[in-house]
Structure 1
């Protein structure tokens, strides 16, 4: 990473869940910088090189967050293909750069995060007429009043819900389904065993302590959401794109689909809202 001591922006004051956006940014940027990278994200590379932060605490870079970003992008693109000019709501967006990767001139984008994070976004990212930025918690439902529903709504919650209490996550999913009939939502979740490890103070190689993740949802439990949450018409698991090395192994992918492994790994869920 280039570091000439000039034009750097201090991000070392970020703490708690907000600091996890630096982890995902680092992984996306490092992957995007590789000649054989699995994600095209030049803006993430620029952010990574601009922000002053002790990235080394996150240990060795992983493809995981780059592949997750691609999976979310694919779901958003599919939605916009069916609903041109639709609205994408990015809850807890952090320093994600999905708007620029999607590069759809007709999309309406609502970016929501805490004030400290939004201040960084406004300082570092281009001002876009199609992007509405709201400095507030995703749990403050007043953001829903700023969403144009005329051409359909897609809610993205990437790397967010696992950090919320279970009842808060399920309530948020249900409120989105009720408020945006006919819309879609995609979110990622962790399995129960991993949730328990984080709540005991899980440290990764590099010394970083992962914030507690109280909300857990397996692939099997996600499939049962239509029976648990009113106004959800269907759910479907979204698989990560194949990556490089072990991340590209079709054998490991097939094994992960077998019980009980299927319910012991992270999962991405697409929800379709009734109406």
Structure 2
């Protein structure tokens, strides 16, 4: 699978953030640099995405990951040898950016996606690739649950219903005692705009459903502790010289109006 000229279904949205990371690494390397993503630039066709995207959405994807990266690094510093689990991992390259050899990293996605990931990215010595449906909970058996565990979901929950997500979090609470979760969310208005963007890339079969308008209420619904809610763009607006004016305006108001958020929950209070 080395061509994305035909983007169909949720599984193919994994190429959109990959293109965004390549874009930002070339345009704003002082803010974000992803050597592993750049190595893939000439190996897969991203022309369809490049023709149909624009700067704000590329930066939204990259800034989301930059904020998540910092949260992972902070968790690693606090907990030393721990578990970091990427659910719906796709072609995310955080493992290669963070370069931690002490903790255990797990990349979870559907089997055919993991096959593509292994072909394009390989895996590190402390990185395990697991092909399964994350909702099946089969991947939990590979974890040492005595260790602190951070679960990362970037661009994943939006594709499922609120009820399914809440049930999933309750299942995690039962199975992993020392567990925290970091994920991105949009509000209802942001979700509508994101759906329009994905359709513009040529993918009409990846509708998104889940939005959060009040993170505190979501924490209550899931019986979790809300650790933090972070915007995407503050650092990028300071550091990325040469952003288009329309991008800067959209980034500023996205943070100001909490259109996009990184939510950090502690699952077991």
Provide the TM-score with structure 2 as the length reference: 0.84
Work out whether residues 203 and 210 of structure 1, in 8 Å CA contact, stay in contact via their aligned partners in 2: no
Structure-1 residue corresponding to 2:82: 86
Is the alpha carbon distance of 1:121 and 1:254 closer, same or farther for their aligned partners in structure 2, counting shifts above 3 Å?
Answer: closer
Give the deviation of 1:254 after TM superposition.
7.9
Q: Greater share of helix residues, 1 or 2?
A: 2
Structure-2 residue corresponding to 1:33: 26
Q: For 1:94-133, what aligned pairs fall within 5 Å after superposition? A: 94-133=90-129
Whole-Å separation in 2 of the counterparts to 1:168 and 1:99: 28
Greater relative contact order (CA < 8 Å, ≥ 6 in sequence)? 2
Give the deviation of 1:52 after TM superposition.
2.6
1:149 aligned onto 2:145: yes
Structure-2 residue corresponding to 1:215: 210
Work out whether residues 9 and 204 of structure 2, in 8 Å CA contact, stay in contact via their aligned partners in 1: no
What is the number of residues matched between the two proteins? Answer: 259
Structure-1 residue corresponding to 2:69: 73
Whole-Å separation in 2 of the counterparts to 1:52 and 1:28: 15
Give the deviation of 1:75 after TM superposition.
0.6
Q: For 1:145-184, what aligned pairs fall within 5 Å after superposition? A: 145-184=141-180
* Structure 2: stretches of 5+ with no match in the other structure: none
Q: For 1:120-269, what aligned pairs fall within 5 Å after superposition? A: 120-196=116-192, 207-209=202-204, 211-218=206-213, 221-230=214-223, 232-240=224-232, 241-243=234-236, 244=240, 245=243, 253=252, 256-257=255-256, 261-262=257-258, 265-269=259-263
Aligned residues: CA RMSD: 2.8
Structure-2 residue corresponding to 1:46: 39
Is the alpha carbon distance of 1:198 and 1:27 closer, same or farther for their aligned partners in structure 2, counting shifts above 3 Å?
Answer: closer
Is the alpha carbon distance of 1:56 and 1:195 closer, same or farther for their aligned partners in structure 2, counting shifts above 3 Å?
Answer: same
Give the deviation of 1:118 after TM superposition.
0.5
* Structure 1: stretches of 5+ with no match in the other structure: 1-7
Bigger CA drift: 135-144 or 13-22?
Answer: 13-22
Give the deviation of 1:181 after TM superposition.
2.5
Whole-Å separation in 1 of the counterparts to 2:3 and 2:263: 34
The superposition leaves residues 227-265 of structure 1 with CA deviations (integer Å, 9 ceiling, x where unpaired) of 2113x13342023252124699699748844xxx33xx1
